[in-house]
Structure 1
């Protein structure tokens, strides 16, 4: 969980990487659907209070009463995984939302204005991206204090350069298009008459594709920070927190390590597969 992660870059639409099969895509949709159900209906699906301790039922194996067993404090793992799904996914969405909120305006402004503003923005982005992403997030979180809001704000700041670079490149490409020159010839300028109607609609497709990729990265970042006790704080459950607790008792209850690990891996895999599907669905050349 503490391996150094690098920021995901923009993937070219012309990539030669083999496209996932339809079965893989459907499986990915099912995984995301199950995650959404867990986020929305955790209270209804959970058989027990995720924080309720039962010191007479420590590290129990899988059973009809405890579908995934219990942890070292007698808490129901299945319930904690359900509520942990909500915490992890919402935290990842928070980080991505911060990245887009910060990165999209700066990227568009840098690509549209050029000059000294573009130069300064590029230099700052290069400086941030020169650090390993998770290490930088750990440093920010440790400085500001360990909690899930601070942790995901730090992750959002770390992810923002990815959106900045993507939005800047797309804006610079659109700026030289014929319809932009035509709009200028009719006196159109500024945010309301140029950026909003002409630039943003034409860069939103690659941004949405990148958002799906960043969701997977943010999930891993949240799990990593919570595993290191820099994210959610006890007794709150998240996938990283459940994994961290289970790791201490891997000899007695190894299944408890695999469950959150597989949940993280499957969800990240699904988001990465669906990023390609989103690109295909939003492709203007697709019939």
Structure 2
């Protein structure tokens, strides 16, 4: 085998493995989306229906993923919990974009005192560990899934803000911006919306995909600590919390929500990389 062929073969193998991971991620997210929409129809039991004669049953044909400590069907609770977890993550990401994107564009475009004030606030928020700050805000405002996700959205907003600011500052010095100004273009409608926003949307979309994974982990963490969804509502974090309590009696049940969270977060990260590749203007 020639030296050129020896170099090409590992590259081709890596490329094929990358495409497999991308398509696997597509399939996982498609399944998650279908479950979010059709969870009630797919669940064989009511997610909160208790059966004290069927406590902590193992996996079987009747209960595919077993039952929890109150006799509730874990498979049904995972299906309905998928909707809660994903919608909660979407809420957090939406809040982070609503806060971070306009402030980032304003800081990058206006500069000066506006940039100084915004970035000092961002530095103050980022000086705390993200999940610790989210826990503190949630504990102060009261345990609730909506409150928890608003807290997570606020904590995640600096990631969008800093990215939007950096991209806006880079675009502000471009030649076509100077040309637009020379023709009298000013303000939000004539400058920011047509020239800045379309050119920063690619990295923002990539960041949104990554933040979806972080938001899912944050929801699971807060619900695990009983600061997110409240009983008897099901979510991946709530199912994980119940499974951990009875780990010695039903050890397999803790893997079910853990695998769901890990696979979905992995898929969002892979799709984020794929979005970056597809939207790259230098891509051949």
TM-score category of the 2 structures, normalised to the smaller one:
over 0.9
Identify the residue that residue 220 of structure 2 maps to in structure 1: 223
Tell me whether 1:191 sits opposite 2:166 in the alignment: no
- C-alpha distance in 2, partners of 1:52/1:229? 20
Equivalent runs, 1:149-228 vs 2, <5 Å: 149-228=146-225
Identify the residue that residue 87 of structure 2 maps to in structure 1: 90
Identify the residue that residue 236 of structure 1 maps to in structure 2: 233
Question: What is the CA distance between 1:244 and its match in structure 2?
Answer: 0.2
- C-alpha distance in 1, partners of 2:110/2:262? 40
Report which of the two structures shows the higher radius of gyration computed on alpha carbons. 2
- C-alpha distance in 2, partners of 1:24/1:66? 31
Question: What is the CA distance between 1:103 and its match in structure 2?
Answer: 0.3
- CA-based RMSD of the aligned residues comes to 1.0
CA deviations over 1:76-102 (Å, ceiling 9, x no partner): 000000000000000000000000000
What is the TM-score normalised by the length of structure 2? 0.94
Gaps of at least 5 residues in structure 1 are 1-17
CA deviations over 1:176-222 (Å, ceiling 9, x no partner): 00000000000001000000000000000000000000000000000
Question: What is the CA distance between 1:163 and its match in structure 2?
Answer: 0.5
Moved over 6 A (4+): none
Identify the residue that residue 137 of structure 1 maps to in structure 2: 134
CA deviations over 1:218-262 (Å, ceiling 9, x no partner): 000000000000000000000000000110111111111000011
Gaps of at least 5 residues in structure 2 are 1-13
- C-alpha distance in 1, partners of 2:238/2:44? 20
How many residues are treated as equivalent by the alignment?
270
CA deviations over 1:43-77 (Å, ceiling 9, x no partner): 11110000000000000011111010000000000
